[in-house]
Structure 1
Amino acid sequence: MRCSFYILLSMEEEKGGRIGQRPYILKIITERNYIIIIDMKKAKILLFVTALVAVLTSCGGGKQGLPTSDEYPVITIGASNAQLKTTYPATIKGVQDVEVRPKVSGFITKLNIHEGEYVHAGQVLFVIDNSTYQAAVRQAQAQVNSAQSAVAQAKANVVQANASLNSANAQAATSRLTYNNSQNLYNNKVIGDYELQSAKNTYETAQASVRQAQSGIASAQAAVKQAEAGVRQAQAMLSTAKDNLGFCYVKSPASGYVGSLPFKEGALVSASSAQPVTTISNTSTIEVYFSMTEADVLKLSRTDDGLSNAIKKFPAVSLLLADGSTYNHEGAIVKTSGMIDATTGTINVIARFPNPEHLLKSGGSGKIVIAKNNNRALLIPQEAVTQVQNKMFVYKVDAKDKVHYSEITVDPQNDGINYIVTSGLKMGERIVSKGVSSLEDGAKIKALTPAEYEEAIKKAEKLGENQSSASGFLKTMKGDSK
């Protein structure tokens, strides 16, 4: 039982050789077995108590409506519609962040862009000195011309070889007739062995000429193929040279915003450089990367027939920006990584947001906000819960207004004000909703509704204001606390 004693003191104070009267109001509170003792001694000040009035205000017949030590607010558990919001730290990236790297080496002769500028796909960003590459194109073109001339010459050689073959075939046909006639004349003993052998030798020589002409054609045709291969090789070199010349004009691979520009006009850039010349970020759509715990992912997978279906059914998510404001467009979770990080126990999740105003920039940060609705939630205020190590307890109130220390479990996701009870409480049960730190198991209380309790608190505060002065104290003693 808490008791409050208000004491009006009229004290004589000696200061500067004079003694005067000065009023004081003291409030002494006793609660159960604890008593507050006030030491009135003060250096260089001599106090003489000349009058003492003690009034018991809360033990017995005190003021009506003030909360006593056995009065507590009590609520009845019922189903509520709860929406809990969970936040996850997130990183913002453009849906397409493309590093721009030169494909040829050289000095930058022209810089056509500025940091933060919006560019279109194919727009020229840089120009690299192209004099060397123009010379390479001219040289490659000369090689193509030379190779094409070689092809023309090889084809002419084929024509000449065909003519030689035709001539050899004609000579072979003539020598064959001569040899056949010589055989007839020899058989009729018109000519001798010498004439026959001469005709035979001429025929065989003509046949050898035919074979030589045929071989010449094959060689000429092979030379044509080789020359044509030389043309193709020269044309490939010309194409490469032209490409390299074109690469001197570094173009944007995508539409988006220009990132930092570490290289300026006159700087030497290289195709093998590890640092890109800039980055183009397509921020028309933004991807926000965050991590969910393994427990959250498993919960989703079990409740919605697998993670893929859970993602499809997942409600829209919000984005809390770095300045604390909420982004004015909702997003959707589109995919997750295929593996859980063994170190952190989390899985990477990607949400996609429209960005028509280009407010969000790649590389920024924020927080993903996921709302969770529960239409049958058993909500209790966090003030009603005491926590001992990793366990949570409430004080249930029975029909005789006795309290019982009872363990409960709650959903780990909460809004910072209420808990959703998952076990330990049932609808219709009553619990103490505030001030539980002073309760003991089995204690009998006087149950008030939260509204009654708050009204009593307001009256107590008003009474305290009145007692802050001597005149107010006297009014309170007379029963006027207004």
Structure 2
Amino acid sequence: MLNKNQWFRSSFLEYRTVITMLYLAGIVFTTVSCSEGNGKNKKNAEILEVPVFTLSPKSIEVPQTYVCDLQAIQFVEVRSKVEGFVEKIYVDEGQSVKKGQPLFQLSSAEYNELVNSAKAKLMQAKAEEKSATLEVERLKVLVDKKIYSQSELELAQSKKDMAQSSILEAESMLKNAQVGLSYTTVKAPFDGIVDRIPYKTGSLVKSGDLLTNITDISEIFAYYRITENEYLEFMRGELDKGSDNEQMNQQVKETLQKEQEEISLIMSDGVVYPYKGKLETMEADFEQGTGSIALRVRFPNPDQLIKHGASGKVQMKSMLNDVFLIPQKSTFEIQEYNYVYLVDSENKVNVRSFRPMGRHGLFYIAQDFKPNDKVVLEGIQLLKDDVTVKTNPVGEDEIYKSLDLNL
């Protein structure tokens, strides 16, 4: 029989043997499992199914917005032409006025005296002219009777001419005095709205001081700028139609007028203005420094909602032909380039870079593709170059359902 120590030693050896066998079995099982797992992942990667759609060129109208400066069709500074005190203010700020309506009355006592003095001088000149005329007539009779010599008559005639010139001078002085007097009553130059009135009753104003502004906002001008490239693109389009230099200005004007229904105004709060604008003209020169040129749009303003100096955005629609629409979810961006995955005829994917021309909804507008290119729609984060995939075609109706393309 085994003693106690021998039995314990024998049992420990058997236990260690069993543990070792179990450990080796575990290693073998883990290795086999990993090998089977890698095989399954590899198999899954080889048969990855992705949705794809086929590109075809489109013609679309793309809205383009430009920040604009809104101005009244008439904005005039009303300034004092003479020096004086403000005696009366006939209007209030924000009031609508008519052409010729009195706005301010300046002190006029001095100018009244000038008018009276000019009238007196005119009366004196007329009296002297009448006296000289009578003298000439009297001397004519005496000269005919040989009582006076001809030289006496000529001297009297020269005095009469001087008296007539004095009348003309006095009339001119009277007109100037009356004009100066009229300047003391400041009137509205046209129908419009009164702006802020900085001077109050009793204030002393000098010649040239600003009394107020008058604005006519029955219509509004919207000025916005386009780049030189946009201008050249537009003008080349006109040249391609066969326009010659002599007809260019007229053709541009007619083209601008044809686009009047395509111009909208977006107010500063994002609400679209209910009235459409008419593109009228453009400046003659490019602005130095920015390289842009300004265009002018006229908008009706019957409700006087838009005020002079307001801001907004002009929205126009431009037609783009033979372009491709790439969903943004199909792309990823690295620095200034965008990328998509294309599927070739062997169902292998390859990354492709492109530069979008702009955006239209949730799509990029591009020209760097060919018809029938197949683009991976989703799952691009699981792809890499030369991976073979299983394609699941998606129709255009499903891709472009958010856009009105008249498919």
Counterparts in 2 of 1:161-310, with a 5 A limit?
A: 161-168=139-146, 213-273=149-209, 276-305=210-239, 306=248, 307-310=252-255
Contact kept in structure 1, 2:324 and 2:366, CA below 8 Å: yes
Q: CA deviation at 1:60?
A: 6.0
Q: CA deviation at 1:352?
A: 0.6
- Structure 2 equivalent of residue 28 of structure 1: none
Contact kept in structure 2, 1:301 and 1:310, CA below 8 Å: no
Cα deviation 1:3-47 (Å, max 9, x = unaligned): xxxxxxxxxxxxxxxxxxxxxxxxxxxxxxxxxxxxxxxxxxxxx
Structure 2 residue 8 is the aligned partner of structure 1 residue 72: no
Structure 2 residue 122 is the aligned partner of structure 1 residue 144: yes
> Residues 381 and 254 (structure 1 numbering): CA distance in 2 closer, same or farther, change over 3 Å?
same
d(CA) in 2 for partners of 1:69, 1:227: 117
Question: Please, which moves more after superposition, 106-115 or 367-376?
Answer: 367-376
d(CA) in 1 for partners of 2:296, 2:85: 40
Cα deviation 1:185-215 (Å, max 9, x = unaligned): xxxxxxxxxxxxxxxxxxxxxxxx5xxx212
> Residues 215 and 399 (structure 1 numbering): CA distance in 2 closer, same or farther, change over 3 Å?
same
d(CA) in 2 for partners of 1:215, 1:68: 131
Structure 2 residue 387 is the aligned partner of structure 1 residue 443: yes
Counterparts in 2 of 1:4-153, with a 5 A limit?
A: 70-153=48-131
* Bigger Rg, structure 1 or 2: 1
**RMSD of Structure 2 on Structure 1 (CA):** 2.8
- Structure 2 equivalent of residue 410 of structure 1: 356
- Structure 2 equivalent of residue 17 of structure 1: none
Cα deviation 1:36-91 (Å, max 9, x = unaligned): xxxxxxxxxxxxxxxxxxxxx9x969xxxxx9994433221123342211111111
d(CA) in 2 for partners of 1:156, 1:287: 66
d(CA) in 1 for partners of 2:47, 2:164: 107
> Residues 112 and 446 (structure 1 numbering): CA distance in 2 closer, same or farther, change over 3 Å?
farther
> Residues 440 and 60 (structure 1 numbering): CA distance in 2 closer, same or farther, change over 3 Å?
closer
Q: Which structure: greater helix fraction?
A: 2
Q: Counterpart of 2:305 in 1: which secondary structure?
A: coil
The amino acid across from 2:284 in the alignment is G
The amino acid across from 1:285 in the alignment is E
- Structure 2 equivalent of residue 50 of structure 1: none
> Residues 162 and 434 (structure 1 numbering): CA distance in 2 closer, same or farther, change over 3 Å?
farther
Q: CA deviation at 1:396?
A: 1.4
The TM-score normalised by the length of structure 2 is: 0.78
Q: CA deviation at 1:287?
A: 0.1
Given candidates 339, 349, 360, the residue that maps to 2:295 is: 349
Question: Please, which moves more after superposition, 376-385 or 104-113?
Answer: 376-385
Unaligned runs of 5+ in 2: 1-36, 240-247, 399-407
Contact kept in structure 2, 1:383 and 1:435, CA below 8 Å: no
> Residues 261 and 71 (structure 1 numbering): CA distance in 2 closer, same or farther, change over 3 Å?
farther
Contact kept in structure 1, 2:70 and 2:310, CA below 8 Å: yes
List, as ranges, runs of 4+ consecutive aligned residues in structure 1 with deviation greater than 6 Å. Answer: none
Q: Counterpart of 1:347 in 2: which secondary structure?
A: strand
Contact kept in structure 2, 1:72 and 1:434, CA below 8 Å: yes
Contact kept in structure 1, 2:50 and 2:376, CA below 8 Å: yes
Q: Counterpart of 1:314 in 2: which secondary structure?
A: helix
The amino acid across from 1:294 in the alignment is E
d(CA) in 2 for partners of 1:435, 1:228: 102
Question: Please, which moves more after superposition, 295-304 or 311-320?
Answer: 311-320
Structure 2 residue 313 is the aligned partner of structure 1 residue 367: yes
- Structure 2 equivalent of residue 465 of structure 1: none
Structure 2 residue 369 is the aligned partner of structure 1 residue 428: no
Q: Counterpart of 2:359 in 1: which secondary structure?
A: coil
d(CA) in 1 for partners of 2:382, 2:185: 78
Contact kept in structure 1, 2:46 and 2:389, CA below 8 Å: no
The amino acid across from 1:88 in the alignment is Y
Percent identity, please.
30
> Residues 121 and 377 (structure 1 numbering): CA distance in 2 closer, same or farther, change over 3 Å?
same
The amino acid across from 1:378 in the alignment is F
> Residues 218 and 368 (structure 1 numbering): CA distance in 2 closer, same or farther, change over 3 Å?
same
Contact kept in structure 1, 2:47 and 2:388, CA below 8 Å: no
Contact kept in structure 2, 1:82 and 1:379, CA below 8 Å: no
d(CA) in 2 for partners of 1:437, 1:144: 99
Cα deviation 1:162-186 (Å, max 9, x = unaligned): 1231121xx6xxxxxxxxxxxxxxx
- Structure 2 equivalent of residue 195 of structure 1: none
The amino acid across from 2:359 in the alignment is N
The amino acid across from 1:215 in the alignment is S
d(CA) in 2 for partners of 1:72, 1:214: 123
d(CA) in 2 for partners of 1:440, 1:310: 49
> Residues 165 and 434 (structure 1 numbering): CA distance in 2 closer, same or farther, change over 3 Å?
farther
Q: Counterpart of 1:277 in 2: which secondary structure?
A: strand
The TM-score normalised by the length of structure 1 is: 0.66
d(CA) in 2 for partners of 1:388, 1:345: 30
Q: CA deviation at 1:232?
A: 1.0
The amino acid across from 1:116 in the alignment is G
Alignment coverage as a number of residue pairs: 346
- Structure 1 equivalent of residue 364 of structure 2: 419
- Structure 1 equivalent of residue 341 of structure 2: 395
